[in-house]
Amino acid sequence: MSHAFVEDTAVEPRGEDRFAATVTDRWSIGGRPNGGYLMGIALTALGRRLRHPDPLTSTGHFLSPAEPGPAEVSVNVVKEGRSLATAQAVLSQDRRERLVVLATYGDLAGTVGPTRIMEPTPLPAPGLVSSLGRPHPFPIAERFVLELPPEQALAADGRPARTDGPAEFFGRIRFSDDMPAVTAALPLLVDAFPPAVFCLGMVGWTPTLELTVHTRARPEPGWPEPGWMVLRTKSRYLKNGLVEEDGELWDGTGQLVAQSRQLARILV
């Protein structure tokens, strides 16, 4: 079975360090492709170039808005050792750089070392409801199934019940085509909830300037309904139109698989 994410992040080699890609409109918000989706294309290209399988850390800087259509990804391997590799990927359209990603890859399957879980795996409160009702004007809403507490579901759909906070979403998420999560998809998943500032009534275009994702484990299926993951996103400080958003993503077995932080502009 084919999956939309795999299809829409596919790349074709155009030499050792260059790849052709197509940015589709299936992950767009107001005509602009989601930043985590664009990082997925860059990580797919890096994964084709490096022998290490997992992006342990990846940081994307968004230089200009991308558009649906042809794209090119150029890869520069900075250093490749036995256990780690660091490389840069630049996604361009019309000879204009849209996204720069710097990532360090390794092999999570072979990672060993001290482990201590300082906090138990959180679980959303019972009584979750489906969010982003259909039909929806944004194509990306068709790519996911979200479940949130009722008050947060209203905020996610642009109808906040209150505007005094907190700025936080905490619920369940899965791909609508039942695709199991892979490490290249984690930047998209942590960026899939609406911006947390929607809970404050600040509903509008919130472009990401920078997104960093730390991969902590390969996602594993779990629960009676495979594919579901738990996602929490939260913003604490809005200053001069710039806001940070922190994300935490757990798989169906309860293990933490990704943490993220991004900086975004508020344009409302």
pLDDT at 1: 67
The pLDDT of residue 118: 85
What pLDDT score was predicted for residue 116? 86
CA atoms within 13 A on the CB side of 257: 25
Identify the pLDDT of residue 162.
Answer: 79
* CA geometry: angle 167, 170, 6, nearest 5 deg: 115
Quote the CA–CA distance of 42 and 35 in Å, as a whole number: 11
**Cis upstream peptide for 70 (omega within 30°):** no
Q: Taking 80 as the threshold, does the pLDDT of residue 244 lie above it?
A: yes
Alpha carbon separation from 185 to 211, 219, 229, 240 (Å, rounded): 14, 10, 13, 31
pTM metric for this prediction: 0.94
Share of the chain above pLDDT 90, in %: 75
Q: How confident is the model at residue 2 (pLDDT cuts 50, 70, 90)?
A: confident
121-132 confidence digits (pLDDT tens): 788 877 888 865
Best CA proximity match to 209, nearest among 64, 58, 74: 64
Enumerate residues 6+ apart whose C-beta is below 8 A from 268: 202, 203, 204, 205
Burial class for 94, CB neighbours closer than 10 Å (0-12, 13-18, 19+): exposed
Burial (CB count within 10 angstroms: exposed 0-12, middle 13-18, buried 19+), residue 16: exposed
Residue 80 reports pLDDT greater than 80: yes
pLDDT at 224 over 60: no
Q: Tell me, what amino acid is at 61?
A: H
Backbone angles phi, psi at 39, to 5 degrees: -65, -35
Q: What is the mean pLDDT of residues 203-210?
A: 94
Look at residue 222 and tell me whether its pLDDT is greater than 80.
no
* Closest by Cα among 102, 103, 48, 44 to 71: 44
Q: What is the pLDDT of residues 18-74, one digit of tens each?
A: 999 999 999 999 899 999 999 999 999 999 999 999 999 999 999 999 999 999 999
Map residue 148 onto helix, strand or coil: strand
The β-bridge partners of 69 are 23
Pairwise CA distance, residues 4 & 113, whole Å: 36
pLDDT of residue 251: 93
**Cα–Cα dist 34/29, whole Å:** 7
Span 264-268, mean pLDDT?
A: 89
Over range 134-157, report the average pLDDT: 85
Give the span between the Cα atoms of 133 and 44, in whole angstroms.
31
* pLDDT per residue as tens digits for the range 91-115: 999 999 999 999 999 999 978 889 8
User: Which own/partner contact pairs does 202-206 have at CB distance under 8 Å and 24+ positions apart?
Assistant: 202/266, 202/268, 203/158, 203/160, 203/268, 204/266, 204/267, 204/268, 205/29, 205/30, 205/32, 205/267, 205/268, 206/243, 206/264, 206/265, 206/266, 206/267
Residue-averaged pLDDT of the chain: 92
Answer whether 151's CB lies under 8 Å from 165's CB: no
Whole-Å CA distances, 61 to 35, 64, 82, 197, 212: 9, 9, 27, 21, 9
